[in-house]
Structure 1
Amino acid sequence: MSDKQSPSKEKSLCSTFEWLLIALALAFTYRAFLLEAYKIPTGSMAPTLRGDRFAVACQSCGEKFDYGFIPERYRRGANREGFYQLDPGTICPNCGTTSRPVASKINGDRILVFKGSYYFHDPDRWDVFVFKNPTEPHLNYIKRLVGLPGEKIEIIDGDIYINDKITRKPAKVQNELWMPVFDSRLTEVVAYSQNREPVSPMMNSEGSNWRYIENGRSFSLDETEGKKHELYYNYKQGRDLRAFYSYNRYDMINVAPFFSDMMLEAYVAFPDQSGEFEAVLSKYGTEYTASLDVSGTMTVSAKEPSGKRNVIAEKTIKPLDTDRPVRFCFENLDHVLRFSFGPETLEYDFGREAHAMGEPGRLRPQIKVAGSGRLRVENLRIMRDIYYYGTGFDDETLRAGEGRPYTLGEDEFFACGDNSPASSDSRYWDAPGIGNNAKTYPAGVVPRDYLIGKAFFVYWPGSFKYNLNPKFSKLGKFAILPNVSEMKFIYGGVDDAEIEAEE
């Protein structure tokens, strides 16, 4: 009987083996041409994508942030609980406090890359893409694509200019690239434990009388005489208004330029349904003011260094119910002033030409809010835009820096890391790219031949390891659960409608 079943068993084994071969072939095909997982090793794309890093919580304000792990600096390794003593140059992105905390290490983000993407369409600007490093083709790099074939690229005051016009990022990309400067909800938690007055960088100008409430997290004004009271951002009390990255060492702040593209957001309530509130952001010495008269007027004006003030945009709105907080937002971004209050928006576009808003200078920006009447301001946040460095730490102009534009040839792309001061990319590569059969590529470009695919999802962003005090986290070094809240899609590129709108 067993002899009669042998052919059937052999046939079954052959069939199983055949299916295994097919499955393996499909898996290899899938990995080679469609989808592949990658681990981010370094912080050149932080904060969008993070490499091996430390999870830090500021001892002063409680802000949670990442600090890059560089193996050469930590040869001694972690202690028995899995924590490292960090560099003395760690700086909080919210309050500017420098410290040398103890923190646990998190492995780099793990992402999915669609390798078939560029078989079907050309890469788009702002894509986060994987490619072979032109100078070391055995290494894969990941950066943001900022320049396309045939374009002239120039970096001026942190912004990307293509063919002498500023480029504007798609909304979803921009949302990823706003970086914190100040958040009133994180005003010095140390003050609470010591029962003392919190110290906020938003300070009263002389003669003004804003009051701190809720331990400095909110501000209130009770003014019945129509006088305007002002709060200004004191960089000496908070963090400096420079385009530094807390992911990097503190000593980089000394050479970081001042940023000029920023956003101020707050939630404002007018209990009496009357009063005024305004925000002031300066750029190159000119103060731009977004003013709200809650009775029904939104205004954007410009005050030149000479003191002359001009109204450049105005809009009448229907009065809103303002006894509860309403979102107020004013941003100066890529040559556009955008003022929002609740559902209403007012914009002024200076155009895309270089220097449309003046000549860049080494001027620290000014940030203020002011109001009159009875009002309350909550959840005040200041954010800055990503800043692409066009000069090195020795003040040398980099490739495509201001005054040194770079024109791409056919099938050539320009790549920059989001962590601009700590990214090896097209601005820095000084050796020709290495191709097959003794072929070379111009220094600084990513050739089409070396494109691998478009990154689109962070599926494993790291584990829960943020700790104010390591003794409360005995499981710190064994944390293996991913931080699900940080799983996300990676946005990039523009659609045809956005390209046409730009042109």
Structure 2
Amino acid sequence: MAKTKQPRRERAEDETPGKADAAASNFQVFRETLESIVVAFVLAFLFRTFEAEAFVIPTGSMSPSLLGQHKDVNCPQCGYRFRTTASSEGEDRDRLIAELPNVRGMRAEQLKAHIASLDVVGGMCPMCRNLVPMRRDLPANVLDEVNLDDVEYQPSYPGDRILVNKYGLDFGEPQRWDVIVFKFPGDGNMNYIKRLVGLPGEMLRVYQGDLFTRPLDEPAASPKIQRKPADKAAAMLQPVHDTDYESATLYAADWPLRWAATTSDGWTIEAKPGPQTVQQRFSIDQPQAAETHWLRYRHIVPEEDHWRVARAVANEGSLDAVLQRLGLTPEDWQQSRPPQLIADFNPYNARLCRGYAERDGWEIVPHPTLPNAGSLGTQWTPDLAVECDVDVEEARGELALDLVEAGYHFRATINLGDGRVELTVVDGRTGKPLPWKASGQSGIDSAGSYNLRFANVDDQLLLWVDGEVVDCGDATYDPDTLFDGGRAAMLPWRSATGEDEGDLAPVGVGARGAKLTATRLAVWRDIYYIAAKYPEDGRNLVADYDFTTWSTSELMSKPEAWQHFATRRSRDFPVHEGQLFVMGDNSPESKDSRLWMMPGVAGDRPGGPYLDRKLLIGKAVCVFWPHSWGGIPGLPKLPGWPNFKDMRLVR
């Protein structure tokens, strides 16, 4: 993936909250009107080309692939661009506002307070976990936490406008993993968009975040995992961390960088803090190294208490003075940040509404019985990918990429002299390779700059070099035959001595006898599908394990708690002839086929957890009109100017 810096948007010109919000609201109405006119002209040409239909994404159930109503934000602490849902500011709130003239007295005041409580006032950056304020008129109880002079008003943008191809359905059936648009079974006037995951004639199982199927008429058959094709797997990865967006504010407060060398005699790490981020380079030059030297990623995630210290250090200049004022020792500060397992955090879900801010203060507080309980992630997500921009200075030695799942090291080792790549699996408990291997030709056989991506998703290993998939033959594996205890025993692991951190250091980059420099390292995760079914799981729809007294942060950081993941449930769904099964990419907040029988779903209840094939409209083709942003350089901003960069195919 090409490395790009994130553009910064201009600060809102209005100085007072009231003027800023009113001006923004009027501007938004004008902008959306102009956009609608332009879109109408675009569609007129599209309809002449092929049979198609435009569709506006209503919710965030497919995020981050496709966006519903949302805020589009550049993190002021690290520069990363992310989106946060603003669906609470959408049509449902508009209907409440429309009711206001018809109510009086206490009821009117209660309704006004409820409408105000739906404002999205904050969103969390996935890179540095900074809680970014979205507007200046914040609740009074959080004003001590936020410098209003630094706050930019973040408007709500409508969902992505996509083009749906209806013509192709006349010639063939949709394929698994396609994104499809259909009439909601409970209300023919409502269009839904989801990903097709279950086909007619099969039993679909959701287990450990993955999807499995068996023939519906073969109850004794073992379900087989469904693996995404390489292009779908790449498109559905979600960001976890990127060294291009390491916050300089955190670094100044002695917050550790997430990538570190495991020995002192191998890699040289150069870290240069700038005004916003820390520029990092990882170099090694060992002509005759006998062993592989490793960099390892640790998922050290700051919480709001850590950010309070970091902001205080930025204002006061001394970490020791800040810690002393707070009654903390340097040891307390060091011990407050243990590495964690990687969870299914999605910034789109990590919003702070006004009502929650008034109750909890300036932080997102997950709760197992509240609608936003999954906003910070609840599931251990072991299917990971690592991306590396590397400058190979001499064609010698080896470069290795390593991903850990349940203590097993899935490894791609590239010979930098002849380009050959070997895929292997090493058991961290014994340090010995398992009887599994695949190989191919990477094309990296000379000095130069390369972009590498290595993924372990859906029980398969995938390697890309400069965006092209490397053919390694059959790189799939079966945990039930390869690992002791099989799939059910795949729990997080670290060695008792800490010599192998296992799933607490789940990503590694190694080199042996090589001369090279890594200029960027990034970690990604796969989608985790939650095994939830209504009514069986009506009280716990955002996690697929039993409720526990462990907090989420404890569950993700304490090895003594990890046995609890053995309670992860599986859920089976029959898909009969003439039926399809669909799910959203944003599993914690997707009301899809799993949950269509639950109360609160708009419209009448469907006949069951399935989609009738006759309700299918077509396949989503592209996002042809994202929200406008910017204009022609050197000219005033045009509200309806297309955001060409975000136009994309739907995968």
Do both share a fold (TM > 0.5)? yes
Listed one character per residue, the Cα deviations across residues 284-307 of structure 1 (whole Å, up to 9, x for unaligned) are 221122223423453333222431
Residues 152 and 408, structure 1, Cα contact 8 Å, conserved in 2: yes
Equivalent residues in 2 for 1:425-440, closer than 5 Å: 425-430=592-597
Distance 1:419 1:223, change over 3 A: same
1:109 shift after superposition = 0.9
Matched, 1:247 2:348: yes
Distance 1:283 1:346, change over 3 A: same
AA matched with 2:299: Y
Distance in 2, Cα, partners of 1:314 & 1:117: 37
**Map of 2:616 onto structure 1:** 451
Residues 111 and 456, structure 1, Cα contact 8 Å, conserved in 2: yes
Equivalent residues in 2 for 1:140-219, closer than 5 Å: 140-163=191-214, 164-188=223-247, 190=249, 200-207=257-264, 209-212=267-270, 215-219=278-282
**Map of 2:487 onto structure 1:** 359
Matched, 1:221 2:284: yes
**Larger strand share, 1 or 2:** 1
Tell me the number of residue pairs that the alignment of Structure 1 and Structure 2 aligns: 436
Distance in 1, Cα, partners of 2:389 & 2:421: 16
Question: 1:175 aligns to what SS in structure 2?
Answer: helix
Listed one character per residue, the Cα deviations across residues 44-96 of structure 1 (whole Å, up to 9, x for unaligned) are 1111211110011122221101100033598999xxxxxx98444x2222333
Residues 545 and 569, structure 2, Cα contact 8 Å, conserved in 1: no
Matched, 1:325 2:462: no
Residues 344 and 377, structure 2, Cα contact 8 Å, conserved in 1: no
Matched, 1:100 2:143: no
Distance in 2, Cα, partners of 1:68 & 1:441: 26
1:489 shift after superposition = 2.2
Distance in 2, Cα, partners of 1:181 & 1:352: 26
Listed one character per residue, the Cα deviations across residues 430-486 of structure 1 (whole Å, up to 9, x for unaligned) are 269x9xxx9x964111112322222212211112179xxxxxxxx99x733221111
Match of 1:417 among 584, 594, 616: 584
AA matched with 2:393: P
Higher relative contact order (CA 8 A, sep 6+): 1
Match of 1:123 among 171, 174, 178: 174
AA matched with 1:124: Q
Matched, 1:405 2:587: no
**Map of 1:289 onto structure 2:** 411
AA matched with 1:170: P
Match of 1:71 among 88, 112, 123: 88
Question: 2:126 aligns to what SS in structure 1?
Answer: coil
Distance in 2, Cα, partners of 1:442 & 1:187: 49
**Map of 2:429 onto structure 1:** 306
Residues 337 and 348, structure 1, Cα contact 8 Å, conserved in 2: no
**Map of 1:11 onto structure 2:** none
Residues 53 and 66, structure 1, Cα contact 8 Å, conserved in 2: yes
Distance in 1, Cα, partners of 2:348 & 2:67: 9
Distance in 2, Cα, partners of 1:129 & 1:230: 43
Matched, 1:484 2:644: yes
Residues 165 and 352, structure 1, Cα contact 8 Å, conserved in 2: no
Distance 1:258 1:394, change over 3 A: closer
Structure 1 length normalisation: TM-score?
0.75
**Map of 2:528 onto structure 1:** 387
**Greater mean deviation of Cα atoms: 409-418 or 480-489:** 480-489
Structure with max Cα Rg: 1
**Larger helix share, 1 or 2:** 2
**Map of 1:135 onto structure 2:** 186
Distance 1:97 1:223, change over 3 A: farther
Distance 1:310 1:35, change over 3 A: same
Structure 2 length normalisation: TM-score?
0.59
AA matched with 2:348: Y
1:415 shift after superposition = 0.9
Question: 2:156 aligns to what SS in structure 1?
Answer: strand
Distance in 1, Cα, partners of 2:159 & 2:242: 27
Residues 233 and 368, structure 1, Cα contact 8 Å, conserved in 2: yes
Residues 440 and 473, structure 2, Cα contact 8 Å, conserved in 1: no
**Greater mean deviation of Cα atoms: 166-175 or 312-321:** 312-321
Distance in 1, Cα, partners of 2:157 & 2:630: 7
Distance 1:225 1:198, change over 3 A: farther
Query: CA RMSD of the aligned region, Å?
Result: 3.8
Match of 2:295 among 228, 231, 243: 231
Residues 187 and 198, structure 1, Cα contact 8 Å, conserved in 2: no
Equivalent residues in 2 for 1:3-82, closer than 5 Å: 34-71=51-88
**Map of 1:111 onto structure 2:** 162
Residues 166 and 353, structure 1, Cα contact 8 Å, conserved in 2: no
Match of 1:265 among 379, 383, 387: 387
Distance in 1, Cα, partners of 2:202 & 2:212: 10
Distance in 2, Cα, partners of 1:92 & 1:269: 29
